[in-house]
Amino acid sequence: MVVSETKIQVLYADTDQMGYVYYGNFAKYYEHARTELLKKLGFSYKELESRGYGMPLLSLNINYRKPAYYDDTLTIKAILREKPTRKITFDYETYNQAGQLLNTATTELILTRLDNRKPTLPPYWYNEIFSKHFEK
Amino acid sequence: MVVSETKIQVLYADTDQMGYVYYGNFAKYYEHARTELLKKLGFSYKELESRGYGMPLLSLNINYRKPAYYDDTLTIKAILREKPTRKITFDYETYNQAGQLLNTATTELILTRLDNRKPTLPPYWYNEIFSKHFEK
Amino acid sequence: MVVSETKIQVLYADTDQMGYVYYGNFAKYYEHARTELLKKLGFSYKELESRGYGMPLLSLNINYRKPAYYDDTLTIKAILREKPTRKITFDYETYNQAGQLLNTATTELILTRLDNRKPTLPPYWYNEIFSKHFEK
Amino acid sequence: MVVSETKIQVLYADTDQMGYVYYGNFAKYYEHARTELLKKLGFSYKELESRGYGMPLLSLNINYRKPAYYDDTLTIKAILREKPTRKITFDYETYNQAGQLLNTATTELILTRLDNRKPTLPPYWYNEIFSKHFEK
Protein backbone atom coordinates (compact mmCIF):
# COMPACT_ATOMS: atom_id res chain seq x y z
CA MET A 1 0.00 0.00 0.00
CA VAL A 2 1.25 3.44 -0.92
CA VAL A 3 -0.20 6.58 0.68
CA SER A 4 0.42 10.24 0.02
CA GLU A 5 -1.03 13.48 1.34
CA THR A 6 -1.70 16.63 -0.68
CA LYS A 7 -2.64 20.00 0.78
CA ILE A 8 -5.32 22.06 -0.95
CA GLN A 9 -6.21 25.64 -0.03
CA VAL A 10 -9.88 26.16 -0.91
CA LEU A 11 -10.31 29.15 -3.22
CA TYR A 12 -13.38 31.29 -3.74
CA ALA A 13 -13.46 29.85 -7.26
CA ASP A 14 -14.34 26.43 -5.86
CA THR A 15 -17.14 27.49 -3.52
CA ASP A 16 -20.79 27.75 -4.46
CA GLN A 17 -23.71 29.84 -3.31
CA MET A 18 -24.31 27.53 -0.34
CA GLY A 19 -20.80 28.34 0.86
CA TYR A 20 -19.64 24.78 0.19
CA VAL A 21 -17.00 23.51 -2.17
CA TYR A 22 -19.08 22.53 -5.22
CA TYR A 23 -19.45 18.75 -5.30
CA GLY A 24 -17.83 18.35 -8.71
CA ASN A 25 -14.67 20.21 -7.73
CA PHE A 26 -13.37 17.34 -5.64
CA ALA A 27 -12.57 15.51 -8.89
CA LYS A 28 -9.68 17.87 -9.51
CA TYR A 29 -8.53 17.69 -5.89
CA TYR A 30 -8.36 13.90 -6.28
CA GLU A 31 -6.48 14.29 -9.54
CA HIS A 32 -4.00 16.51 -7.72
CA ALA A 33 -3.65 13.90 -4.97
CA ARG A 34 -3.13 10.87 -7.22
CA THR A 35 -0.61 12.80 -9.33
CA GLU A 36 1.37 13.54 -6.19
CA LEU A 37 1.21 9.90 -5.13
CA LEU A 38 2.47 8.75 -8.52
CA LYS A 39 5.29 11.31 -8.47
CA LYS A 40 6.31 10.00 -5.08
CA LEU A 41 6.74 6.60 -6.75
CA GLY A 42 8.85 8.14 -9.49
CA PHE A 43 5.98 7.94 -11.96
CA SER A 44 5.22 11.02 -14.02
CA TYR A 45 1.86 11.19 -15.75
CA LYS A 46 3.36 13.70 -18.16
CA GLU A 47 6.05 11.23 -19.14
CA LEU A 48 3.43 8.50 -19.49
CA GLU A 49 1.74 10.65 -22.11
CA SER A 50 4.97 11.46 -23.90
CA ARG A 51 5.43 7.69 -24.26
CA GLY A 52 2.05 7.37 -25.95
CA TYR A 53 -0.16 6.32 -23.07
CA GLY A 54 -3.08 7.90 -21.23
CA MET A 55 -5.16 6.99 -18.20
CA PRO A 56 -8.80 7.93 -18.66
CA LEU A 57 -11.28 7.29 -15.88
CA LEU A 58 -13.48 4.21 -15.66
CA SER A 59 -15.38 5.28 -12.57
CA LEU A 60 -15.66 7.89 -9.86
CA ASN A 61 -17.46 7.30 -6.56
CA ILE A 62 -17.70 9.95 -3.87
CA ASN A 63 -19.39 9.82 -0.48
CA TYR A 64 -19.87 13.27 1.01
CA ARG A 65 -20.04 13.45 4.82
CA LYS A 66 -19.37 17.08 5.65
CA PRO A 67 -18.87 20.13 3.47
CA ALA A 68 -15.57 21.88 2.82
CA TYR A 69 -15.60 25.66 3.15
CA TYR A 70 -13.77 28.63 1.71
CA ASP A 71 -10.19 29.00 2.91
CA ASP A 72 -10.15 25.52 4.44
CA THR A 73 -6.80 23.80 4.27
CA LEU A 74 -7.72 20.35 3.07
CA THR A 75 -5.56 17.27 3.22
CA ILE A 76 -6.33 14.81 0.46
CA LYS A 77 -5.00 11.40 1.32
CA ALA A 78 -4.57 9.23 -1.78
CA ILE A 79 -4.20 5.49 -1.28
CA LEU A 80 -3.00 2.89 -3.76
CA ARG A 81 -3.84 -0.43 -2.16
CA GLU A 82 -2.84 -2.83 -4.89
CA LYS A 83 -0.21 -3.00 -7.56
CA PRO A 84 -1.69 -1.47 -10.71
CA THR A 85 -2.20 -3.66 -13.71
CA ARG A 86 -3.72 -1.96 -16.72
CA LYS A 87 -6.41 -0.93 -14.25
CA ILE A 88 -5.35 1.34 -11.43
CA THR A 89 -7.53 2.07 -8.43
CA PHE A 90 -7.08 4.97 -6.01
CA ASP A 91 -8.94 5.61 -2.79
CA TYR A 92 -9.15 9.11 -1.32
CA GLU A 93 -9.96 10.63 2.03
CA THR A 94 -10.47 14.37 2.43
CA TYR A 95 -9.78 15.96 5.81
CA ASN A 96 -10.09 19.58 6.88
CA GLN A 97 -7.70 21.48 9.15
CA ALA A 98 -9.64 20.25 12.21
CA GLY A 99 -8.94 16.65 11.20
CA GLN A 100 -12.57 15.97 10.29
CA LEU A 101 -13.16 13.44 7.53
CA LEU A 102 -15.18 15.31 4.88
CA ASN A 103 -15.52 12.71 2.18
CA THR A 104 -14.17 9.45 0.81
CA ALA A 105 -13.84 8.46 -2.80
CA THR A 106 -12.56 5.90 -5.24
CA THR A 107 -11.47 6.27 -8.85
CA GLU A 108 -10.61 3.57 -11.34
CA LEU A 109 -8.40 4.45 -14.30
CA ILE A 110 -7.43 2.37 -17.29
CA LEU A 111 -4.12 2.40 -19.13
CA THR A 112 -4.82 3.30 -22.75
CA ARG A 113 -2.85 3.92 -25.91
CA LEU A 114 -3.25 7.52 -27.04
CA ASP A 115 -3.12 6.65 -30.74
CA ASN A 116 -6.08 4.25 -30.83
CA ARG A 117 -7.62 5.21 -27.45
CA LYS A 118 -7.88 1.50 -26.51
CA PRO A 119 -6.93 -0.22 -23.25
CA THR A 120 -3.53 -1.83 -23.43
CA LEU A 121 -1.25 -4.10 -21.46
CA PRO A 122 1.23 -2.22 -19.29
CA PRO A 123 4.73 -1.85 -20.76
CA TYR A 124 7.74 -3.21 -18.94
CA TRP A 125 8.81 0.07 -17.29
CA TYR A 126 5.28 0.60 -15.95
CA ASN A 127 5.35 -2.72 -14.12
CA GLU A 128 8.84 -2.09 -12.92
CA ILE A 129 7.96 1.18 -11.21
CA PHE A 130 5.09 -0.34 -9.27
CA SER A 131 6.84 -3.64 -8.51
CA LYS A 132 9.39 -1.87 -6.37
CA HIS A 133 6.62 -0.74 -4.05
CA PHE A 134 4.30 -3.72 -4.04
CA GLU A 135 6.54 -6.78 -4.12
CA LYS A 136 9.31 -7.97 -1.87
CA MET B 1 -40.83 7.73 -12.85
CA VAL B 2 -40.03 11.16 -14.25
CA VAL B 3 -37.52 11.63 -17.06
CA SER B 4 -36.13 14.74 -18.69
CA GLU B 5 -33.53 15.44 -21.34
CA THR B 6 -31.07 18.32 -21.38
CA LYS B 7 -28.85 19.27 -24.30
CA ILE B 8 -25.25 20.30 -23.62
CA GLN B 9 -22.87 21.71 -26.22
CA VAL B 10 -19.34 20.76 -25.19
CA LEU B 11 -17.11 23.81 -24.92
CA TYR B 12 -13.35 24.01 -25.20
CA ALA B 13 -13.40 24.99 -21.53
CA ASP B 14 -14.57 21.51 -20.58
CA THR B 15 -12.05 19.52 -22.60
CA ASP B 16 -8.64 18.43 -21.38
CA GLN B 17 -5.32 17.72 -23.02
CA MET B 18 -6.42 14.22 -24.02
CA GLY B 19 -9.22 15.84 -26.02
CA TYR B 20 -11.86 14.41 -23.68
CA VAL B 21 -14.36 16.21 -21.49
CA TYR B 22 -12.56 16.24 -18.12
CA TYR B 23 -14.09 13.60 -15.87
CA GLY B 24 -15.10 16.05 -13.15
CA ASN B 25 -17.05 18.29 -15.52
CA PHE B 26 -19.92 15.85 -15.81
CA ALA B 27 -20.96 16.85 -12.29
CA LYS B 28 -22.19 20.19 -13.60
CA TYR B 29 -23.84 18.60 -16.63
CA TYR B 30 -25.79 16.39 -14.21
CA GLU B 31 -26.66 19.43 -12.10
CA HIS B 32 -28.00 21.08 -15.22
CA ALA B 33 -30.04 17.97 -16.04
CA ARG B 34 -31.58 17.49 -12.60
CA THR B 35 -32.44 21.20 -12.39
CA GLU B 36 -34.29 20.90 -15.69
CA LEU B 37 -36.12 17.80 -14.47
CA LEU B 38 -37.19 19.58 -11.30
CA LYS B 39 -38.35 22.63 -13.24
CA LYS B 40 -40.43 20.36 -15.43
CA LEU B 41 -42.21 19.25 -12.23
CA GLY B 42 -42.78 22.86 -11.21
CA PHE B 43 -40.02 22.69 -8.65
CA SER B 44 -37.51 25.54 -8.58
CA TYR B 45 -34.26 24.97 -6.73
CA LYS B 46 -33.91 28.71 -6.44
CA GLU B 47 -37.25 28.95 -4.68
CA LEU B 48 -36.31 26.04 -2.43
CA GLU B 49 -33.37 28.11 -1.24
CA SER B 50 -35.43 31.24 -0.77
CA ARG B 51 -37.61 29.18 1.58
CA GLY B 52 -34.62 28.25 3.68
CA TYR B 53 -33.71 24.83 2.30
CA GLY B 54 -30.76 23.41 0.41
CA MET B 55 -29.94 20.08 -1.19
CA PRO B 56 -26.29 19.17 -0.72
CA LEU B 57 -24.95 15.96 -2.20
CA LEU B 58 -24.61 12.70 -0.30
CA SER B 59 -22.99 10.74 -3.08
CA LEU B 60 -21.92 10.81 -6.71
CA ASN B 61 -21.21 7.69 -8.75
CA ILE B 62 -20.16 7.80 -12.38
CA ASN B 63 -19.33 4.97 -14.75
CA TYR B 64 -17.49 6.20 -17.83
CA ARG B 65 -17.89 4.11 -20.98
CA LYS B 66 -16.81 6.37 -23.80
CA PRO B 67 -15.36 9.86 -23.85
CA ALA B 68 -17.22 13.02 -24.84
CA TYR B 69 -15.37 15.31 -27.24
CA TYR B 70 -15.23 19.01 -28.05
CA ASP B 71 -18.31 20.32 -29.83
CA ASP B 72 -20.32 17.17 -29.11
CA THR B 73 -23.99 17.79 -28.56
CA LEU B 74 -24.71 15.72 -25.50
CA THR B 75 -28.09 14.65 -24.24
CA ILE B 76 -28.20 14.21 -20.50
CA LYS B 77 -31.15 12.10 -19.50
CA ALA B 78 -32.08 12.61 -15.83
CA ILE B 79 -34.30 10.03 -14.20
CA LEU B 80 -36.20 10.31 -10.93
CA ARG B 81 -37.39 6.76 -10.23
CA GLU B 82 -38.96 7.20 -6.82
CA LYS B 83 -40.84 9.91 -5.01
CA PRO B 84 -38.29 11.96 -3.07
CA THR B 85 -38.45 11.92 0.69
CA ARG B 86 -35.83 14.01 2.39
CA LYS B 87 -33.44 11.98 0.28
CA ILE B 88 -33.67 12.43 -3.45
CA THR B 89 -31.96 10.14 -5.94
CA PHE B 90 -31.32 10.93 -9.60
CA ASP B 91 -29.94 8.64 -12.27
CA TYR B 92 -28.30 10.02 -15.39
CA GLU B 93 -27.40 8.75 -18.82
CA THR B 94 -25.20 10.77 -21.16
CA TYR B 95 -25.56 10.25 -24.90
CA ASN B 96 -23.69 11.89 -27.75
CA GLN B 97 -25.18 13.05 -31.06
CA ALA B 98 -24.63 9.57 -32.53
CA GLY B 99 -26.83 8.09 -29.79
CA GLN B 100 -23.93 6.36 -28.06
CA LEU B 101 -24.21 5.95 -24.30
CA LEU B 102 -21.12 7.68 -22.89
CA ASN B 103 -21.65 7.32 -19.18
CA THR B 104 -24.19 6.57 -16.47
CA ALA B 105 -24.35 8.13 -13.04
CA THR B 106 -26.30 8.43 -9.82
CA THR B 107 -26.46 11.24 -7.30
CA GLU B 108 -28.11 11.26 -3.90
CA LEU B 109 -29.08 14.60 -2.37
CA ILE B 110 -30.41 15.36 1.07
CA LEU B 111 -32.92 18.06 1.99
CA THR B 112 -31.28 20.35 4.53
CA ARG B 113 -32.15 23.51 6.40
CA LEU B 114 -29.83 26.34 5.35
CA ASP B 115 -29.74 27.91 8.82
CA ASN B 116 -28.38 24.92 10.72
CA ARG B 117 -27.15 22.88 7.72
CA LYS B 118 -28.93 19.80 9.09
CA PRO B 119 -31.12 17.26 7.27
CA THR B 120 -34.79 17.98 7.73
CA LEU B 121 -38.18 16.48 7.04
CA PRO B 122 -39.75 17.73 3.81
CA PRO B 123 -42.29 20.53 4.22
CA TYR B 124 -45.86 20.11 3.00
CA TRP B 125 -45.42 21.87 -0.37
CA TYR B 126 -42.38 19.72 -1.15
CA ASN B 127 -44.37 16.52 -0.75
CA GLU B 128 -47.24 17.99 -2.68
CA ILE B 129 -45.17 18.76 -5.76
CA PHE B 130 -43.79 15.25 -6.00
CA SER B 131 -47.02 13.49 -5.04
CA LYS B 132 -48.68 14.73 -8.20
CA HIS B 133 -46.16 12.80 -10.26
CA PHE B 134 -45.64 9.68 -8.19
CA GLU B 135 -49.05 8.79 -6.73
CA LYS B 136 -52.37 8.14 -8.27
CA MET C 1 -20.65 43.84 -38.22
CA VAL C 2 -21.94 40.44 -37.19
CA VAL C 3 -23.84 39.94 -33.95
CA SER C 4 -25.17 36.82 -32.27
CA GLU C 5 -26.91 36.08 -29.00
CA THR C 6 -26.39 33.04 -26.79
CA LYS C 7 -28.53 32.08 -23.81
CA ILE C 8 -26.84 30.80 -20.66
CA GLN C 9 -28.65 29.35 -17.67
CA VAL C 10 -26.53 30.01 -14.59
CA LEU C 11 -25.78 26.80 -12.71
CA TYR C 12 -24.89 26.36 -9.07
CA ALA C 13 -21.50 25.20 -10.32
CA ASP C 14 -20.73 28.71 -11.55
CA THR C 15 -21.73 30.62 -8.42
CA ASP C 16 -19.44 31.42 -5.52
CA GLN C 17 -19.90 31.98 -1.83
CA MET C 18 -20.99 35.59 -2.40
CA GLY C 19 -23.86 34.27 -4.50
CA TYR C 20 -22.35 35.76 -7.67
CA VAL C 21 -21.16 34.04 -10.81
CA TYR C 22 -17.42 33.72 -10.17
CA TYR C 23 -15.59 36.34 -12.19
CA GLY C 24 -13.49 33.83 -14.11
CA ASN C 25 -16.48 31.85 -15.34
CA PHE C 26 -17.48 34.48 -17.85
CA ALA C 27 -14.53 33.39 -19.99
CA LYS C 28 -16.38 30.21 -20.90
CA TYR C 29 -19.65 32.06 -21.46
CA TYR C 30 -17.82 34.26 -23.95
CA GLU C 31 -16.29 31.20 -25.58
CA HIS C 32 -19.78 29.79 -25.95
CA ALA C 33 -20.98 33.06 -27.48
CA ARG C 34 -18.17 33.48 -30.00
CA THR C 35 -18.49 29.83 -31.06
CA GLU C 36 -22.17 30.42 -31.76
CA LEU C 37 -21.37 33.57 -33.73
CA LEU C 38 -18.81 31.72 -35.83
CA LYS C 39 -21.22 28.85 -36.47
CA LYS C 40 -23.77 31.36 -37.64
CA LEU C 41 -21.22 32.42 -40.28
CA GLY C 42 -20.69 28.83 -41.32
CA PHE C 43 -17.39 28.67 -39.51
CA SER C 44 -16.74 25.67 -37.26
CA TYR C 45 -13.93 25.94 -34.75
CA LYS C 46 -13.80 22.15 -34.69
CA GLU C 47 -13.19 22.06 -38.41
CA LEU C 48 -10.57 24.77 -38.08
CA GLU C 49 -8.66 22.46 -35.76
CA SER C 50 -9.08 19.46 -38.01
CA ARG C 51 -7.41 21.54 -40.74
CA GLY C 52 -4.40 22.17 -38.50
CA TYR C 53 -5.20 25.58 -37.05
CA GLY C 54 -5.99 26.89 -33.59
CA MET C 55 -7.01 30.23 -32.14
CA PRO C 56 -5.38 30.87 -28.78
CA LEU C 57 -6.16 34.05 -26.89
CA LEU C 58 -4.02 37.17 -27.03
CA SER C 59 -6.02 39.16 -24.51
CA LEU C 60 -9.14 39.20 -22.37
CA ASN C 61 -10.64 42.36 -20.90
CA ILE C 62 -13.75 42.35 -18.76
CA ASN C 63 -15.56 45.23 -17.08
CA TYR C 64 -17.99 44.03 -14.43
CA ARG C 65 -20.94 46.30 -13.72
CA LYS C 66 -23.45 44.12 -11.91
CA PRO C 67 -23.29 40.54 -10.69
CA ALA C 68 -25.02 37.57 -12.31
CA TYR C 69 -26.88 35.26 -9.92
CA TYR C 70 -27.85 31.61 -9.72
CA ASP C 71 -30.57 30.59 -12.16
CA ASP C 72 -30.31 33.83 -14.12
CA THR C 73 -30.97 33.44 -17.81
CA LEU C 74 -28.15 35.40 -19.34
CA THR C 75 -27.93 36.63 -22.89
CA ILE C 76 -24.38 36.91 -24.14
CA LYS C 77 -24.20 39.16 -27.16
CA ALA C 78 -21.07 38.52 -29.21
CA ILE C 79 -20.04 41.16 -31.72
CA LEU C 80 -17.55 40.86 -34.56
CA ARG C 81 -17.00 44.43 -35.73
CA GLU C 82 -14.29 43.94 -38.32
CA LYS C 83 -13.34 41.30 -40.80
CA PRO C 84 -10.85 38.99 -39.09
CA THR C 85 -7.33 38.84 -40.42
CA ARG C 86 -5.03 36.50 -38.56
CA LYS C 87 -6.16 38.47 -35.53
CA ILE C 88 -9.81 38.22 -34.63
CA THR C 89 -11.48 40.50 -32.09
CA PHE C 90 -14.81 39.84 -30.39
CA ASP C 91 -16.75 42.16 -28.12
CA TYR C 92 -19.28 40.83 -25.64
CA GLU C 93 -22.18 42.21 -23.66
CA THR C 94 -23.85 40.17 -20.93
CA TYR C 95 -27.47 40.90 -20.07
CA ASN C 96 -29.70 39.26 -17.48
CA GLN C 97 -33.38 38.36 -17.93
CA ALA C 98 -34.37 41.87 -16.79
CA GLY C 99 -32.36 43.36 -19.65
CA GLN C 100 -29.71 44.81 -17.34
CA LEU C 101 -26.21 45.05 -18.76
CA LEU C 102 -24.02 43.06 -16.37
CA ASN C 103 -20.64 43.27 -18.03
CA THR C 104 -18.80 44.04 -21.24
CA ALA C 105 -15.71 42.35 -22.55
CA THR C 106 -13.29 42.02 -25.42
CA THR C 107 -11.13 39.10 -26.50
CA GLU C 108 -8.43 39.01 -29.13
CA LEU C 109 -7.50 35.70 -30.70
CA ILE C 110 -4.72 34.84 -33.09
CA LEU C 111 -4.80 32.28 -35.88
CA THR C 112 -2.03 29.77 -35.23
CA ARG C 113 -0.72 26.58 -36.81
CA LEU C 114 -1.20 23.66 -34.41
CA ASP C 115 2.00 21.91 -35.50
CA ASN C 116 4.44 24.71 -34.65
CA ARG C 117 2.10 26.80 -32.45
CA LYS C 118 3.07 29.94 -34.42
CA PRO C 119 0.83 32.70 -35.78
CA THR C 120 0.09 32.21 -39.45
CA LEU C 121 -1.53 33.96 -42.39
CA PRO C 122 -5.17 32.99 -42.92
CA PRO C 123 -5.76 30.35 -45.58
CA TYR C 124 -8.01 31.08 -48.56
CA TRP C 125 -11.18 29.46 -47.18
CA TYR C 126 -10.82 31.43 -43.93
CA ASN C 127 -10.86 34.73 -45.80
CA GLU C 128 -13.67 33.56 -48.00
CA ILE C 129 -16.00 32.80 -45.10
CA PHE C 130 -15.57 36.23 -43.55
CA SER C 131 -15.54 38.14 -46.84
CA LYS C 132 -19.14 37.19 -47.49
CA HIS C 133 -20.18 39.04 -44.34
CA PHE C 134 -17.85 42.03 -44.35
CA GLU C 135 -17.49 43.10 -47.96
CA LYS C 136 -19.96 44.12 -50.54
CA MET D 1 4.76 48.18 -3.14
CA VAL D 2 4.04 44.70 -1.83
CA VAL D 3 4.89 41.59 -3.85
CA SER D 4 4.21 37.94 -3.24
CA GLU D 5 4.79 34.74 -5.19
CA THR D 6 2.48 31.75 -5.35
CA LYS D 7 3.34 28.38 -6.87
CA ILE D 8 0.72 26.59 -8.97
CA GLN D 9 1.06 23.04 -10.28
CA VAL D 10 -0.95 22.80 -13.51
CA LEU D 11 -3.48 19.97 -13.34
CA TYR D 12 -5.06 18.07 -16.20
CA ALA D 13 -8.32 19.69 -15.09
CA ASP D 14 -7.04 23.09 -16.20
CA THR D 15 -5.76 22.10 -19.64
CA ASP D 16 -7.81 22.12 -22.80
CA GLN D 17 -7.75 20.17 -26.04
CA MET D 18 -4.97 22.37 -27.44
CA GLY D 19 -2.82 21.27 -24.52
CA TYR D 20 -2.83 24.78 -23.04
CA VAL D 21 -4.18 25.99 -19.72
CA TYR D 22 -7.63 27.26 -20.70
CA TYR D 23 -7.58 31.05 -20.84
CA GLY D 24 -10.28 31.50 -18.20
CA ASN D 25 -8.49 29.39 -15.61
CA PHE D 26 -5.92 32.06 -14.88
CA ALA D 27 -8.63 33.99 -13.01
CA LYS D 28 -8.48 31.48 -10.17
CA TYR D 29 -4.67 31.40 -10.24
CA TYR D 30 -4.73 35.17 -9.77
CA GLU D 31 -7.28 34.83 -6.97
CA HIS D 32 -4.92 32.38 -5.30
CA ALA D 33 -2.03 34.81 -5.71
CA ARG D 34 -3.81 37.89 -4.36
CA THR D 35 -5.15 35.91 -1.40
CA GLU D 36 -1.60 34.88 -0.54
CA LEU D 37 -0.40 38.47 -0.86
CA LEU D 38 -3.14 39.69 1.47
CA LYS D 39 -2.39 36.95 4.00
CA LYS D 40 1.23 38.00 3.96
CA LEU D 41 0.02 41.46 5.09
CA GLY D 42 -2.05 39.92 7.86
CA PHE D 43 -5.25 40.43 5.92
CA SER D 44 -7.66 37.51 5.69
CA TYR D 45 -10.34 37.65 3.04
CA LYS D 46 -12.33 35.16 5.09
CA GLU D 47 -12.26 37.50 8.07
CA LEU D 48 -13.22 40.42 5.83
CA GLU D 49 -16.39 38.51 4.93
CA SER D 50 -17.14 37.58 8.51
CA ARG D 51 -17.09 41.33 9.26
CA GLY D 52 -19.69 41.95 6.58
CA TYR D 53 -17.58 43.01 3.62
CA GLY D 54 -16.84 41.54 0.23
CA MET D 55 -14.58 42.43 -2.67
CA PRO D 56 -16.20 41.79 -6.01
CA LEU D 57 -14.29 42.44 -9.20
CA LEU D 58 -14.55 45.64 -11.22
CA SER D 59 -12.29 44.56 -14.03
CA LEU D 60 -9.97 41.84 -15.28
CA ASN D 61 -7.38 42.37 -18.00
CA ILE D 62 -5.07 39.63 -19.20
CA ASN D 63 -2.39 39.71 -21.87
CA TYR D 64 -1.36 36.22 -22.94
CA ARG D 65 2.18 35.87 -24.31
CA LYS D 66 2.94 32.16 -24.12
CA PRO D 67 0.82 29.18 -23.11
CA ALA D 68 1.11 27.27 -19.85
CA TYR D 69 1.16 23.48 -20.17
CA TYR D 70 0.16 20.46 -18.13
CA ASP D 71 2.40 19.82 -15.12
CA ASP D 72 4.09 23.21 -15.41
CA THR D 73 5.08 24.70 -12.08
CA LEU D 74 3.89 28.26 -12.42
CA THR D 75 4.91 31.19 -10.27
CA ILE D 76 2.22 33.82 -10.00
CA LYS D 77 3.68 37.09 -8.86
CA ALA D 78 1.03 39.38 -7.36
CA ILE D 79 1.86 43.04 -6.99
CA LEU D 80 0.06 45.67 -4.94
CA ARG D 81 1.56 48.96 -6.09
CA GLU D 82 -0.56 51.42 -4.16
CA LYS D 83 -2.27 51.54 -0.81
CA PRO D 84 -5.82 50.25 -1.30
CA THR D 85 -8.67 52.63 -0.76
CA ARG D 86 -12.10 51.18 -1.32
CA LYS D 87 -10.67 50.24 -4.70
CA ILE D 88 -7.83 47.77 -4.68
CA THR D 89 -5.70 47.03 -7.74
CA PHE D 90 -3.47 44.00 -8.19
CA ASP D 91 -1.05 43.30 -11.02
CA TYR D 92 0.05 39.77 -11.84
CA GLU D 93 2.87 38.15 -13.75
CA THR D 94 2.83 34.44 -14.53
CA TYR D 95 6.15 32.63 -15.04
CA ASN D 96 6.82 28.99 -15.84
CA GLN D 97 9.59 26.83 -14.36
CA ALA D 98 11.95 28.03 -17.09
CA GLY D 99 11.47 31.62 -15.95
CA GLN D 100 9.53 32.59 -19.07
CA LEU D 101 6.89 35.29 -18.64
CA LEU D 102 3.64 33.68 -19.82
CA ASN D 103 1.14 36.44 -19.17
CA THR D 104 0.50 39.66 -17.30
CA ALA D 105 -2.77 40.80 -15.80
CA THR D 106 -4.52 43.39 -13.69
CA THR D 107 -7.62 43.12 -11.53
CA GLU D 108 -9.53 45.89 -9.81
CA LEU D 109 -11.69 45.01 -6.83
CA ILE D 110 -14.10 47.17 -4.88
CA LEU D 111 -14.82 47.01 -1.16
CA THR D 112 -18.53 46.33 -0.73
CA ARG D 113 -20.95 45.75 2.10
CA LEU D 114 -22.39 42.21 1.90
CA ASP D 115 -25.80 43.25 3.22
CA ASN D 116 -26.64 45.83 0.56
CA ARG D 117 -23.98 44.83 -2.01
CA LYS D 118 -22.94 48.49 -2.34
CA PRO D 119 -19.43 49.99 -2.40
CA THR D 120 -18.43 51.37 0.96
CA LEU D 121 -15.71 53.39 2.61
CA PRO D 122 -13.01 51.24 4.21
CA PRO D 123 -13.34 50.70 7.96
CA TYR D 124 -10.58 51.77 10.32
CA TRP D 125 -8.91 48.34 10.67
CA TYR D 126 -8.76 47.99 6.87
CA ASN D 127 -6.79 51.20 6.51
CA GLU D 128 -4.63 50.29 9.42
CA ILE D 129 -3.47 46.99 7.88
CA PHE D 130 -2.42 48.61 4.64
CA SER D 131 -0.95 51.75 6.21
CA LYS D 132 1.76 49.71 7.85
CA HIS D 133 3.02 48.65 4.44
CA PHE D 134 2.50 51.78 2.38
CA GLU D 135 3.32 54.71 4.65
CA LYS D 136 6.36 55.65 6.55
B44–C contact, CB cutoff 8 A: yes
| Pairs of CB atoms within 8 A across C/D | 68
> Which residues of chain C are under the pLDDT cut of 50?
none
Range of the domain at C76: 2-134
A17–B contact, CB cutoff 8 A: yes
Identify the closest residue of chain C to D21 by CA–CA distance: C56
pLDDT beyond 60 at B7? yes
User: Which residue from D17, D22, D70 is facing B19, i.e. has the nearest CB?
Assistant: D17
Q: How close A132 gets to chain D, by Cα (Å)?
A: 24
- Catalytically annotated residues of B: 16
Own/partner pairs, C43-46, CB within 8 angstroms, 24+ separation: C43/C129, C43/C130, C44/B71, C45/B12, C45/B71, C46/B70, C46/B71
DSSP class per residue in C93-136: EEE-TT--EEEEEEEEEE-EETTT--B-PPPHHHHHHHHHHH--
Give contacts of C24 with chain A, Cβ < 8 Å: 13
Nearest Cα to C55, choosing from C133, C119, C123, C126? C119
Nearest Cα to A53, choosing from A15, A109, A135? A109
Cβ of A23 and B61 within 8 Å?
Answer: no
Cα angle for residues D67, D72, D73 (degrees, 5° grid): 120
pLDDT beyond 60 at B136? no
Q: Please tell me the predicted confidence (pLDDT) of residue C136.
A: 56
Q: Please tell me the predicted confidence (pLDDT) of residue D136.
A: 56
User: Which residue from D12, D16, D70 is facing B13, i.e. has the nearest CB?
Assistant: D16
Q: Please tell me the predicted confidence (pLDDT) of residue C100.
A: 98
- In what helix (H) or strand (E) does residue B124 lie, and over which residues does it extend? helix B124-134
- Catalytically annotated residues of C: 16
Catalytic residue among D14, D16, D91, D115: D16
Coil vs helix vs strand at D87: strand
The CATH number of whichever domain residue A61 belongs to comes to 3.10.129.10
Distance CA A85, CA A106 (A): 16
Query: Which range is least confidently modeled, A118-127, B34-43, D127-136?
Result: D127-136
Q: Please tell me the predicted confidence (pLDDT) of residue A136.
A: 56
Number of domains in chain A: 1
Cβ of C13 and A16 within 8 Å?
Answer: yes
B54–A contact, CB cutoff 8 A: yes
Own/partner pairs, D86-95, CB within 8 angstroms, 24+ separation: D86/D110, D86/D111, D86/D119, D86/D120, D86/D121, D86/D122, D87/D58, D87/D111, D88/D55, D90/D30, D90/D33, D90/D34, D90/D37, D92/D30, D92/D33, D92/D34, D94/D26, D94/D29, D94/D68
A70–D contact, CB cutoff 8 A: yes
User: Which residue from A18, A26, A61 is facing B56, i.e. has the nearest CB?
Assistant: A18
D133–A contact, CB cutoff 8 A: no
Average pLDDT, chain D: 96
D15–B contact, CB cutoff 8 A: yes
A121–C contact, CB cutoff 8 A: no
Enter the pTM of the model: 0.96
Give contacts of A11 with chain C, Cβ < 8 Å: none
ipTM of the complex as predicted: 0.96
**C47-71 burial: b if 16+ Cβ within 10 Å, else e:** ebbeeebbbbbbbbbbebeebbbbb
- Return the CA Rg of chain B: 16
Identify the closest residue of chain A to D44 by CA–CA distance: A71
pLDDT in tens, B76-114: 999 999 999 999 999 999 999 999 999 999 999 999 999
Mean pLDDT (whole number) for A119-127? 93
Distance CA D32, CA D4 (A): 11
Cβ of A44 and D71 within 8 Å?
Answer: yes
User: Which residue from A13, A22, A70 is facing C12, i.e. has the nearest CB?
Assistant: A22
Catalytic residue among A16, A71, A72, A115: A16
C70–A contact, CB cutoff 8 A: yes
pLDDT in tens, D52-91: 999 999 999 999 999 999 999 999 999 999 999 999 999 9
Coil vs helix vs strand at C39: helix
Cα angle for residues B71, B72, B75 (degrees, 5° grid): 140
Split at pLDDT 50, 70, 90, the class of B135 is confident
Distance CA B115, CA B122 (A): 15
Coil vs helix vs strand at D112: strand
Q: Please tell me the predicted confidence (pLDDT) of residue A82.
A: 95
